[in-house]
Amino acid sequence: MASTEVTDDFYKRIETSDELSAKKRAILDFCQKYSDRKIALVTSGGTTVPLEKNTVRFIDNFSAGTRGAISAEYFLSHGYKVIFLHRHKSLAPFTRHLTGFGFLDCLKVEADGRISVIDNVAPTLRPVLDEYNKVKERDDLLRVSFISLSDYLWLLREAVQILNGHRSKALIYLAAAVSDFYVPDEFLALHKLQSSEGAPDLKLELVPKILAPLVKQWAPEAFTISFKLETDPTILKEKCRRALNTYRHGLVVGNILQTRRNVVYIVTADEDYAIETTDVEINDGVEIERKLVADLGHRKRLSSSFQRIDF
Amino acid sequence: MASTEVTDDFYKRIETSDELSAKKRAILDFCQKYSDRKIALVTSGGTTVPLEKNTVRFIDNFSAGTRGAISAEYFLSHGYKVIFLHRHKSLAPFTRHLTGFGFLDCLKVEADGRISVIDNVAPTLRPVLDEYNKVKERDDLLRVSFISLSDYLWLLREAVQILNGHRSKALIYLAAAVSDFYVPDEFLALHKLQSSEGAPDLKLELVPKILAPLVKQWAPEAFTISFKLETDPTILKEKCRRALNTYRHGLVVGNILQTRRNVVYIVTADEDYAIETTDVEINDGVEIERKLVADLGHRKRLSSSFQRIDF
């Protein structure tokens, strides 16, 4: 079977969510409203793989959604409209700045009964709030959430196929940490696995590589960026290069779990190089995503198929 | 082997965290400070079971930590000092009231530049903030977090053994959703599992029943409440009864995933009964944990071994 047939067959085996059509509608409306604008689809956070139909246990992928949430802000600052396809409750653009805060610890009751933000937090919060309100007022950002692997895969296909109408004005930034494995519906236990029956022997199956139909069929003119996360530095570059040779999309961003805040590797058809932030920069609050998103703009302009588009 | 030996052997096979000693110190200080007060240890949220040493993938248990976070508030309102042993980033007492809010959507910039909470949110927030500040000022609540199953198990044992000094003034409320299965350290892959090597066949092992040594050895005089969560209503009561017969602790609270906000089953040595909230009550904001925690106080007084203690 060709890879696209494998994928069609796979989609028949995973459940759709009741909320799919409403979310698809929201994406369609957003893309139609901004039919002449450049749009970035940013995926973010991990997917779950349920181990029971009435799900108590699931396999998850480590991801707070940091890369995707930060990158979405920088795409917005570069003039993109952004569809933020993210794991429910993972980090989100703007609100992510508040996760270190104990919200209740930042509030005080004033003499007149109003509740206000305490003085030593307000200066940090103010620019975030202003930027958030600007984005909200201009309707620059559409937030769409998923939880499970199948939620994600259905939403991704719908979103990418809709974005195909934007041709080379679409950028697809696949930062989500998507499971490579799943338990097909027909093997799922209905109820919670019982410990009295001993430890289960979990039969996982490989998820087909969605990048193949995404690049070839769903949105062939979009500039697509995929990610590779590894923990073993010795295999990273080779795996990035192999992915690019296989799918022939825009470029691959490689990163190592332990150093992902400090360095990413860019692998394009012609070259590969690292983008880094120094410890001094990190102390000064420089985020590697700022450099990464700026570099992607440069790459997109260089890419001959996309010369019509300004980043 | 006796169950306690099984447990000791098991503890040798799971990793301790670097933060264990600092957290143990905090629990010890809290218990010493309140040596003459009743203390509730409330566990909350799910545990992770890593599938790799450099963890990218893990098995998780469905739990937002709602039951534990709400119950902790009611224990505080009943005059308990509370140790809240919770999954990192799960719901917490007081801040849990804010999860429906988009925080940034609730703030506005005033004419004088101050940031304040908008008028239609302030009345809801005010009593939560007041209560939070009272608890904080009186130092009623100690928050200790875990992520993995082994973090949880080590912390639980330390906390319970320390609480043993409180004898019957200790209440142990095991609301956390703890994995029944794990992958022993010696079988853990060092690096991220590679999809190129096919789908892994996961060999899980059963976690020994920690309730056995907890009740018999670690804190035999504490009033211990365990939970059973099932998705199949036909097996719930029997499983609760069997647990109580096996461990002979205070009581078991049974609940069904789909109806857990509306009904819980209490199984004691002498009887079993349901505690329910009607739809009208739920609409009025009545939380089932209010009834549950009040009922536990009643049970604790009835329990002959604990008659010395006022709830």
**Which band of pLDDT confidence, cut at 50, 70 and 90, is reported for residue A2?**
low
DSSP B261-301: TTEEEEE-SS-EEEEE--HHHHHTT--HHHHHHHHHHHHHH
**B84 vs A contacts (CB less than 8 Å):** none
pLDDT of residue A306: 43
Phi and psi at B191, nearest 5°, equal -110, 170
pLDDT of residue A297: 84
pLDDT of residue B131: 96
What Rg do the C-alpha atoms of chain A give, in angstroms? Answer: 21
Please list, in sequence order, all residues whose beta carbon lies within 8 angstroms of the beta carbon of residue B60, skipping any fewer than 6 positions away.
A48, A57, A58, A59, A60, B46, B47, B48, B49
The answer to whether the CB atoms of B117 and A107 lie below 8 A apart is yes
Residue A223 pLDDT > 70: yes
pLDDT of residue A302: 66
**B129 vs A contacts (CB less than 8 Å):** 104, 107, 109, 115
pLDDT of residue B306: 43
State percent of chain A over pLDDT 90.
69
Partner residue facing B98 (CB), from A60, A103, A177: A103
DSSP B88-156: TTS--TTGGGGTTS-GGGGEEE-TTS-EEE-TTTHHHHHHHHHHHHHHHHHT-EEEEEE-BHHHHHHHH
The answer to whether the CB atoms of A58 and B58 lie below 8 A apart is no
The answer to whether the CB atoms of A115 and B107 lie below 8 A apart is no
Partner residue facing A109 (CB), from B129, B177, B195: B129
**Which band of pLDDT confidence, cut at 50, 70 and 90, is reported for residue A98?**
confident
User: What is the tens place of the pLDDT at every residue in A253-288?
Assistant: 999 988 999 999 999 999 999 999 998 999 999 999
Residue A10 pLDDT > 90: no
pLDDT of residue A109: 95
Strand B170-174 and strand B39-44: the pairing is parallel
The answer to whether the CB atoms of A107 and B128 lie below 8 A apart is no
B10, B62, B187: best to mutate for the A interface, most A CBs within 10 A: B62
Residue of B nearest to A230 (CA): B192
Q: Which residue has the tokens 């919770």?
A: B86
Partner residue facing B56 (CB), from A98, A198, A231: A231
The answer to whether the CB atoms of A192 and B231 lie below 8 A apart is yes
Residue of A nearest to B136 (CA): A105
Residue of B nearest to A104 (CA): B129
Partner residue facing B231 (CB), from A130, A191, A257: A191
pTM for the structure as a whole: 0.89
**B125 vs A contacts (CB less than 8 Å):** 107, 115
pLDDT of residue A13: 75
User: What is the tens place of the pLDDT at every residue in A174-190?
Assistant: 999 999 988 887 777 77
Partner residue facing B198 (CB), from A105, A202, A206: A206
Low-confidence ranges of chain B (pLDDT < 50): 1, 304-311
Q: Which residue has the tokens 């996961």?
A: B202
User: What is the tens place of the pLDDT at every residue in B21-43?
Assistant: 999 999 999 999 999 999 999 99
Residue A38 pLDDT > 60: yes
Residue of B nearest to A119 (CA): B114
Q: What angle do CA A64, A65, A69 make, to 5 degrees?
A: 140
Partner residue facing A107 (CB), from B102, B129, B258: B129
pLDDT of residue B17: 78
pLDDT of residue A304: 43
> Looking at CA atoms only, how far is residue A183 from chain B in angstroms?
10
Q: What angle do CA B259, B261, B267 make, to 5 degrees?
A: 75
> Looking at CA atoms only, how far is residue A204 from chain B in angstroms?
6
A90, A106, A148, A180: best to mutate for the B interface, most B CBs within 10 A: A180
What is d(CA B252, CA B234) in angstroms, rounded to the nearest whole number? 17
The answer to whether the CB atoms of B205 and A195 lie below 8 A apart is no
pLDDT of residue B169: 94
The answer to whether the CB atoms of A103 and B95 lie below 8 A apart is yes
How many residues are there in chain B?
311
The answer to whether the CB atoms of B58 and A59 lie below 8 A apart is yes
> Looking at CA atoms only, how far is residue B285 from chain A in angstroms?
21
> Looking at CA atoms only, how far is residue B307 from chain A in angstroms?
35
| CA–centroid distance for B67 within its chain | 8
Specify which residues A85 forms β-bridges with.
Answer: A43, A144
More confident residue, A104 or B56: A104
User: How many A×B Cβ pairs under 8 Å?
Assistant: 161
Partner residue facing A115 (CB), from B60, B116, B198: B116
Residue A1 pLDDT > 70: no
The answer to whether the CB atoms of B61 and A57 lie below 8 A apart is yes
pLDDT of residue A39: 97
**B62 vs A contacts (CB less than 8 Å):** 55-58
Phi and psi at A58, nearest 5°, equal -155, 160
Partner residue facing A195 (CB), from B58, B133, B180: B180
User: What is the tens place of the pLDDT at every residue in B156-212?
Assistant: 999 999 999 999 999 999 999 999 988 887 777 777 777 777 777 777 889 989 999
The domain locations on chain A are: 1-92+139-221
User: What is the tens place of the pLDDT at every residue in A280-291?
Assistant: 999 999 999 999
Q: What angle do CA A81, A83, A86 make, to 5 degrees?
A: 145
User: What is the tens place of the pLDDT at every residue in A40-87?
Assistant: 999 999 999 998 887 788 999 888 999 999 999 999 999 999 999 999
Pick the CATH number of A1-92+139-221 from 2.40.50.60, 3.40.190.290, 3.40.50.10300, 3.90.1150.10: 3.40.50.10300
The answer to whether the CB atoms of A192 and B257 lie below 8 A apart is yes
**B189 vs A contacts (CB less than 8 Å):** none
What is d(CA B98, CA B104) in angstroms, rounded to the nearest whole number? 11
Q: Which residue has the tokens 């909320």?
A: A19
Residue of B nearest to A197 (CA): B206
